Amino acid sequence: MTSKHEAVSPKHGAMIPDHEVMTSDHEAVSRRPVRVRFAPSPTGKLHIGGARTAIYNWAFARRHGGAFVLRIEDTDPERSTPENTAQIIRSLHWLGLDWDEGPERGGEFGPYLQTERFDSYRETLEHLKQHDAVYPCFCTPEELAARRERAMTSQTYSGYDRTCRSIPSEEAAVRIAAGEAHTWRLKVPLDRGPVTWDDEVFGRVSVPADQLDDFILMRSDNTPTYNYVVVIDDYLMQISHVIRGDDHLSNTPKQILVYEALGAEIPRFAHLSMILGGDGKRLSKRQGATSVELYRDRGYLPQALLNYLALLGWSLDGETTLIDAEGLTSNFSLERVSKNPAVFDKAKLDWMNSAYIRELGAKAFVDWLEPWLVDWGFTREGRVAWSWDADADLCLGSAERALRFGRPASPEEVVADVTAHRAWYEGIYPLVCERARTLAEVCPMVAFLFSGEAVLLDERSMEKCLRFEGVADVLTRVITALSDERLIWREAAIEAALRALPEELGVKPKTLFQAVRVAVCGNMVSPPLFGSLELLGREHILTRLENALQPSSPLVPLSQTPCPAPVSRPLSSGVSQNS
């Protein structure tokens, strides 16, 4: 191992006296500056499990005034892509997580992509060679596989049997010089007792040494293994706490052995329990194990997703369910992280997101809604209508929509219209803030506001509310009341005018209001009627009511509405705030 007086310097690979190397006990580590890292592999998109790990690292760093480091572990050449790296960074930005060191920011412990750090892995390996901490292994994959199969058949130890450990160094050097393929294995001390550490979440963990073989650090193609590079990176970056998923528990004893071989300070470890689905099994994509950006594209607010993921394994006091980023970073502690698996509950996420929508206020709501308006091509004076599966769960993004009539406005037209008529768009907020679970649900809820003088009818609603005897008299009287120029076009005045009519006409209030609702909004289920009437405007209201009296009017059932062009696209096509 290291000599009696030397150890590798964390920053430069130089030698420093061993009295400067701190011990790995809790008290010593607690005196270190807090430095944590999130180290995703860009082999795919950032999913919620990884996002939760990032949130916990970020919150822990902010709570203790430490550094949050983003490091990209991109050493898988077949699956790691720049596109995935960019997606991970976008997702973290969208969640509101900022890092102190890493891509886009740099830092004194960089580079922060593993593929740019290979020199440090080779240099450290040379150091380990000099201190007799590693040895070359010439066993071929076929030989190793055969031994493993024999061991399993005889039910004996199936790990590496240390065949090459006893090869004299002179012989090994000759074979290497001759070009014989070889790996480099860590020389685990034969008298090493159990590898034990105090996990910040799971408590005391101990792994018998006889379960650990002399594992490979450098492959025969000169690429380093995960359990080697992660230690070198964490060590050189002076990481104080390693907070990660419990799927890495089995890696920890091996990594501790590498730290010991380097004579390096061992960080504190905190392993986070997995997230389960409602069936108690590992979370599947069907149950919620999807990417962060997919939640974004389904209309979830980043502050809501941040809040929800933070509570999947951590709690403030066991009761508080809504906690913003400031509250999280002010109160987060590993002591309140549970070692029991968390259960992903989409219904709770929907509820939490709706709570955050209610807290937005009209101004912020329009800011968040604008990209969705762009996606649907909606403008205040536009005339466009889409149809979609009314039974689809818009929070799942599973529905398709098809253009029924009109021309969707261009993104530039939508943005200009929102800017010019900001107050009108803010009027949408009170119509939906108590009803929308996600932003994806808003445009379908208020689509009737953007179809001009016509509206698409839900056939079931039409049959129930516009096909009763006397409906013509009801709608005619409503038209007369709303046409009165003395009527101030405000929600309260409109409501008062219409509430006076049922008794006069001898019909139930529900009958009248549902007829108006369907004729104007196209559906029995819609946002508050009187606020919708105010926002839609007197001219469009009267035209739609008059159309409802005409058999050949543009007011026709969805099933009979011609689609002039085969335009269709996902109900939420990925347009979102801060994308």
Alpha-carbon span 397 to 573, nearest angstrom: 9
Residue 170 CB neighbours (<10 A) = 8
Active site residue 285: yes
In the numeric block, which tokens belong to residue 259?
């730290």
Whether residue 60 contacts residue 243, with contact meaning beta carbons closer than 8 Å, is answered with yes
Residues whose CB is less than 8 angstroms from the CB of residue 466 and which lie 6 or more positions away in sequence, other chains included? 457, 515, 518, 519, 548
Half-sphere exposure (Cβ direction) of 282: Cα atoms closer than 13 Å: 4
Q: How many helices (H) and strands (E) does the chain have?
A: 24, 16
Catalytic residue among 129, 254, 281, 285: 285
DSSP string, 187-234: ---TT---EEEEETTTEEEEE-GGG----EEE-TTSPBPHHHHHHHHH
- Side-chain-facing half-sphere of 493: CA atoms under 13 Å: 12
Q: How many residues does the chain have?
A: 579
Could you tell me which residues come within 8 angstroms of residue 336 by beta carbon, excluding any fewer than 6 positions away?
A: 314, 315, 316
What Å distances lie between residue 116 and 73, 75, 120, 121, CA to CA? 10, 10, 9, 10
536: tokens are 């839609």
CA–CA separation, 433 vs 435, rounded Å?
A: 6
Distance CA 489, CA 531 (A): 10
Cα 478 from Cα 564, distance rounded (Å): 33
Q: List residues with catalytic annotation.
A: 285
